[in-house]
Chains A and B, each alone.
Chain A
C-alpha cells in the first residue's frame, strides 16, 4: 500500500511526461536496490535511445528499398502515443511501456527522417547532431548551476508547452477542413521565428527533465522512476529532434 502511494507522487516537468508526488517516500522505505539512481536513469536513457535507433534504421532501410512504410509510420505514431499514455498514467509500468514507446517511436522517426533526407540530403545528421549537442550543452549548464530551474521557470515552460500543443491541435483539426494555420508551416520570417521559439521551448523542457531526475534520485525515489525519467527525457528529445528537423527543412527550402 505504501508502495502504491509512491506512484502518486511524481509530477510533470512541462513536457508531456511528469506528474507529482513521490518525494515523501524516502529511500529508507525501500531497499537500496529499489532506489532510483542517476547512473541507472542515464543507462536506461541510452538503452531506449538504442532501441529507438534500431527501429528507425529499419524503417529508413525499408523506405530506401522501395517498400511502403506508411503502416510503420502511422502505426509507430499511434502505438507510441498509446504507450506514452500508459507510461504517464501508470508510472509503475514504465519499465515495460517505456521500451515499447522507444521501439514504436523509432518506426515513426525513421520514416519521417528518410522522407526529409530524400528531399534535403544531409539534413538528418545535422538535426541529430544539433539535438544531442543541445542535450549535452544544457546538461552542462544545469549541472554547473548556470541555468537554475525555479517554480516560475517551470510555470513559464509549462504554459508555453501547453500553448504550442493547443496550436498544433487546432492546426490538426483545421486540416480536416482543408485548411491550416499558415505560419506554422511557412518558410517565411514568421514561420522560421515560430520554429525557433518551439525549438527553444523544447530545449528548455530538457532542463526540467534534468531537475526532476536529479531531485528524484537525491530523494531516493522508487526504482521504476528511473524508467519514467528516461522516458520523459526521450519524449523531449524526440520532440526536439522533430522540431529541429522542421526548422532545418524550412531554412533549406528557402535556397
Chain B
C-alpha cells in the first residue's frame, strides 16, 4: 500500500467517523440561539419577490 492510499484512506475513515458521530448531536447553543438565523419557512423566491415589491 503506497503513502497516497494510506493517507487518504485514513482521511476517509476519520472524516466518516466524525460525520456519523458528531452529525447526531445538536449544534452548539451559539449556533442555535442566534437572532439572524435563516427563516426556512419562507422560500427564497417569495422573499425576493416581497423585497422587490417593497422597492
Inter-chain contact B4/A126, CB cutoff 8 Å? yes
Q: Mark B1-35, 1 if CB is under 8 A from A, else 0.
A: 01011011101101110111011111110111010
Inter-chain contact B28/A144, CB cutoff 8 Å? yes
Classify chain A's interface size.
35 or more
Find the B residue at minimum CB distance from A221.
B40
- Chain A hits for B22, CB < 8 A: 139-140, 143
Interface size for B (C-beta < 8 A) is 36
Say yes or no for B36: interface residue by CB 8 A criterion. Answer: yes
Say yes or no for B46: interface residue by CB 8 A criterion. Answer: yes
Within 8 A of B (CB), among A1-32: 9-12, 18-24
Inter-chain contact A20/B41, CB cutoff 8 Å? yes
- Chain B hits for A211, CB < 8 A: 37-38, 40
> Of A74-82, A128-136, A184-192, A196-204, which stretch is located at the interface?
A128-136
Report the number of A-B residue pairs with Cβ-Cβ less than 8 Å. Answer: 125
Inter-chain contact A215/B37, CB cutoff 8 Å? yes
Report Cα–Cα, A154/B30, bound state, in Å.
Answer: 19
Inter-chain contact B14/A136, CB cutoff 8 Å? yes
- Chain A hits for B41, CB < 8 A: 9, 20-24
Q: A136-B18, A144-B31, A145-B28 are in contact. Are A212 and B40 (CB under 8 A)?
A: yes
Q: A20-B42, A23-B41, A216-B40 are in contact. Are A143 and B31 (CB under 8 A)?
A: yes
Inter-chain contact B25/A38, CB cutoff 8 Å? yes
Say yes or no for A149: interface residue by CB 8 A criterion. Answer: yes
- Chain A hits for B16, CB < 8 A: 132, 136
Chain B nearest Cβ from A238, distance in angstroms: 15
- Chain B hits for A239, CB < 8 A: none
Report Cα–Cα, A190/B47, bound state, in Å.
Answer: 34
Inter-chain contact B46/A20, CB cutoff 8 Å? yes
- Known contacts A129-B8, A148-B31; can you find 9 more A-B pairs with CB under 8 A? A20-B40, A42-B24, A129-B15, A132-B19, A133-B11, A140-B22, A148-B34, A150-B36, A214-B31
Query: B interface vs A, CB < 8 Å?
Result: 2, 4-5, 7-9, 11-12, 14-16, 18-20, 22-28, 30-32, 34, 36-44, 46-47
Query: A interface vs B, CB < 8 Å?
Result: 9-12, 18-24, 38-39, 41-42, 45-46, 122, 125-126, 128-130, 132-133, 135-136, 139-140, 142-145, 148-151, 153-155, 158, 208, 210-212, 214-216, 218
